Structure formats: C-alpha cells, structure tokens
Homo-oligomer: A and B are copies of this chain.
Amino acid sequence: MGVPNAFYAQSGGVTAVINATACGVIETARNHRHRIGTVYAGRNGIIGALTEELIDTSKESAKTIAGLRSTPSGAFGSCRYKLQSFTENEREFRRLIDVFRAHNIGYFFYNGGGDSQDTAHKVSQVGGTLDYPIICIGIPKTVDNDLPFTDTCPGFGSVAKYVAISIKEAALDVASMCESSTKVFILEVMGRHAGWIAAAAGLAQDKPGDPPHIILLPEVPFNRRLFLNKVRDTVKKCGYCVIVASEGTQYKNGSFVAHSGSKDGSVDAFGHTQLGGVAPTLASMIKVKLGYKYHWAVADYLQRSARHIASATDVEQAYAVGRAAVEFALAGKNAVMPTIVRKKDKPYRWTIGEVPLARVANVERKMPKSYISADGFGITAKARRYLAPLIVGESPPPFRDGLPQYTILKNQLVAKKLKPFRL
C-alpha cells in the first residue's frame, strides 16, 4: 500500500481565506511526507471525489502553494452538493470508498460550513460501515460564522472587516451629500439565518449614534412601522440614515422581506432559498412612506471575495485550522474538527481546540440575544467585544500594476482508474 494519500476538498460558498486553509493543509502535509503521500484535491469539492476528478497538488511548486495564502475563493473549485444519508444513497458512499481505495486515500479533509461538517461526519461513519479505514477531519469555513463550538469561523473575520470598512466609507459619502441629495443609504449583506455579518457593520461606529444607525438582523422580526419610525427619527436628528440589512431579514411569520422585492426565490442544492433584494425592497418602502432620496448597494460576492482587505487575524486562523487538521490526523484523531478557542478579548489571544463532528453537524449558531441592543436595531458592547478582535490587522496580497496578484493553479488531474460515475 505504501504511504497513504490525502483527499482535501472545499465545499459551499467560498471565502477570502479558504485558500489560506488549503495552504495550511498542503504545506503541513508536505512537511510529513513519510506519513502522508500526495494531497489530492477534489475538483469542485466532493463532486470531484465522486467523479474521480482528483487534482494532484504535488504538481504545484512550493511558491505557488504559498501564494494560495493570499488568493481568495476556492482554488480547486467548490460545490453545493449535499450527500444524503447512507441508507438514502448507498451508491454514492460506495463510490466514494471505491475512489479512495483506488487512489490509496487514507485521510479525508473537508473544508466547509455546517452542511460540509455533516458530510465529513457521514464519510467517517461509512468508512467504518464499509470497512475502509479512513481518517476524517472537518475544517471550519463559513462567512456566516454560524458553526457552533468555535470562537469564529475562518472567512467571517474578513467579510466582517469588509462590511465594517465599506459602511464606514459609504456613511461618510451620505453624510456629505445629505443636505441636498441622498438622505438614506442601505447596504445589503449576506447572512441567511444568522446576523453576524450585519452585526459586524456596527464596528464602524466610533461612538454611540455614529452610523450605521440601523442594523437589521434575521434574529429580530422585522416590523415595518418601527423601522420607518426609526429611519424618520434618524434623518430628523442626524440629517441622514445609514442602514445595514441582512439578506435574511424577515417578518415575524418567517417570510423574508426580500421576497416582496425583485428576486426569484429559487432554492439551492442545500434547500436554502436564494436571497438578495432586501435593500431595494426597503428603499422603495422608505421612498413611498417617507419620500427620502435613497441609494442602495448589494455587496453580494464582493464581500466574501475581498481578499484585498482581508483581516490578518482571519488569514492566520484560516491557515491554522488547515495546519491543525493535518496535525490532528497525524495524531490519530478522527471525526473531529479543529476549532478556534478564545483565551482573551483584548489583546485577542486564541488557540486551537477540537470538537467531534457528531456534535457540529447541522447545528446553526445564531447571535445571542445579549449581542442585540434593546430596540433590536443595533449591537451591544458585548457583541462589540466579541467582534472587534476578529477584524484586526491587514494582510494585503502582493500587487503589480495596481492589481492584486492572485495565484492560479495548474489543477492537473490524476489519471482515472475507475469507470465513470453518474451523479
């Protein structure tokens, strides 16, 4: 058999730093060549394992792999593809094990959010069921920051920094225009069920009353009357009003504010509704009821791919969980996920911990009530204490001719050994 190889894959929505995790995995594995052979990366996540499209990362130079640390998005391709349970789709699991066996894969590293940790957990169980020994380590990643047990999720700190900086800058813009032009600015940010990203915009406030004046979180039922009153009062007091809205902002009955807008409401492979459009919906509400001139922005992918303004803390943590995943595997741990453990708020001190995948899978962490201000339109000092360290430090990529130099891999596939598999 020889030294077992490793399989690494990126899953779900990508981030500004998921490649920093890949860098941590590959560099660490390369430091242990006597125990880990080649790191194969799944082309487009777990789909690559099923279709036997395995990228041979050994074809990439040390310099190229190092470049992943400052390159956003998923260098090997990601996917939205959720494995069913073994009883529901035994065929898929048998195929996975066939591919692992054919390529002597002894380690499975799966880098993603809650759904992906569920996949990693299932694979670890099936290894036992089908009598193929494989070590499965989940690696946390999600801009939504909604994984439990870890202090934060790599990817979140950078989007938090992007949103806080963007709203600070846009607020200065509105403040300077409000006398004779725009009075209301709305920025729509990601966050389906958890308001972590919108909450991070609150870091832009240097003192109480600073913009953003209103933060809309999915955790707080949207009340149109209270919202419009707050907008009107803020414009009267400050001359303008800056709003940050989670895409998942919803009414008490659970229907999304965005759905009264222009989006199609389609559903992705994980069963999540495709959101977006809360900003224009709020804008027209304000226009009709209050008559203010408005501008709105939807950051969408820009927020989660903005490696140019990534948080240095986030980059470091993303690398650290990748390195820890390999170290865990080498230490014989299985079916676990490395976590970030906070030791101290200020200065921020953290270390790496671990949690069994069985406890992580499909658990969604919402914002605690204690992080949300009494009126529901802002964050508390406690939230600020939690969020502040996550955006600290800059980690600019190399620039040439005014543009970031991002790393593009060769992504050379290993020769297939098995028959084709239909997804």
Taking Cβ atoms with an 8 Å cutoff, the residues of A that contact B are 10, 13-14, 16, 44-45, 47, 71-81, 161, 164-166, 168-170, 172-177, 179-181, 185, 187, 203-204, 261-264, 266, 268-269, 274, 276-277, 279-280, 284, 287, 293, 295-302, 304-309, 311, 313, 388, 391-394, 396, 399, 401-404, 406
A152 to chain B, nearest CB (A): 14
Contact: A161 with B304, CB < 8 Å?
A: no
A11 to chain B, nearest CB (A): 10
Chain B residues whose CB sits within 8 angstroms of the CB of A274 once the complex forms = 293
6 contacts between A and B (CB under 8 A): A14-B177, A44-B180, A161-B403, A166-B302, A262-B284, A393-B402
- Which residue of chain B has the shortest Cβ distance to A174 in the bound complex? B301
Chain B residues whose CB sits within 8 angstroms of the CB of A44 once the complex forms = 179-180
Chain B residues whose CB sits within 8 angstroms of the CB of A406 once the complex forms = 168-169, 172
A306 to chain B, nearest CB (A): 6
Contact: A78 with B10, CB < 8 Å?
A: no
Known: A176-B78, A262-B284, A293-B266. A309 touches B308 (CB 8 A): yes
**Which one of A13, A14, A44, A298 has the greatest number of beta carbons of chain B within 10 Å?**
A298
Contact: A204 with B403, CB < 8 Å?
A: yes
| Interchain CA distance A403-B387 in the complex, whole Å | 13
Chain B residues whose CB sits within 8 angstroms of the CB of A80 once the complex forms = 177, 180-181
Chain B residues whose CB sits within 8 angstroms of the CB of A307 once the complex forms = 169
Chain B residues whose CB sits within 8 angstroms of the CB of A399 once the complex forms = 394
Enumerate the 9 nearest inter-chain pairs by beta-carbon distance, A residue then B residue, closest first. Answer: A74-B176, A297-B300, A73-B172, A391-B402, A169-B305, A44-B179, A173-B305, A392-B402, A170-B301
Known: A169-B302, A179-B47, A180-B80. A296 touches B284 (CB 8 A): no
Contact: B268 with A181, CB < 8 Å?
A: yes
Known: A72-B173, A181-B79, A204-B403. A276 touches B296 (CB 8 A): yes
- Which residue of chain B has the shortest Cβ distance to A281 in the bound complex? B262
| Interchain CA distance A47-B172 in the complex, whole Å | 19
Q: A14-B177, A79-B181, A296-B298 are in contact. List 13 more A-B contacts (CB 8 A).
A: A14-B176, A71-B172, A73-B172, A73-B173, A75-B176, A78-B177, A168-B403, A169-B308, A170-B300, A203-B403, A204-B403, A276-B295, A296-B300
Chain B residues whose CB sits within 8 angstroms of the CB of A165 once the complex forms = 308, 403-404
Known: A79-B181, A161-B402, A280-B262. A299 touches B301 (CB 8 A): no
- Which residue of chain B has the shortest Cβ distance to A297 in the bound complex? B300
| Interchain CA distance A179-B297 in the complex, whole Å | 27
Chain B residues whose CB sits within 8 angstroms of the CB of A302 once the complex forms = 166, 169-170, 187, 297, 299, 302
Contact: A173 with B14, CB < 8 Å?
A: yes
Known: A161-B402, A295-B276. A73 touches B169 (CB 8 A): yes
A298 to chain B, nearest CB (A): 5
| Interchain CA distance A307-B166 in the complex, whole Å | 9
Chain B residues whose CB sits within 8 angstroms of the CB of A402 once the complex forms = 161, 164, 203, 311, 313, 388, 391-394
Contact of A10 among B176, B204, B287, B306 (CB under 8 A): B176
Chain B residues whose CB sits within 8 angstroms of the CB of A280 once the complex forms = 262-263, 277, 280
Chain B residues whose CB sits within 8 angstroms of the CB of A392 once the complex forms = 401-402
- Which residue of chain B has the shortest Cβ distance to A44 in the bound complex? B179
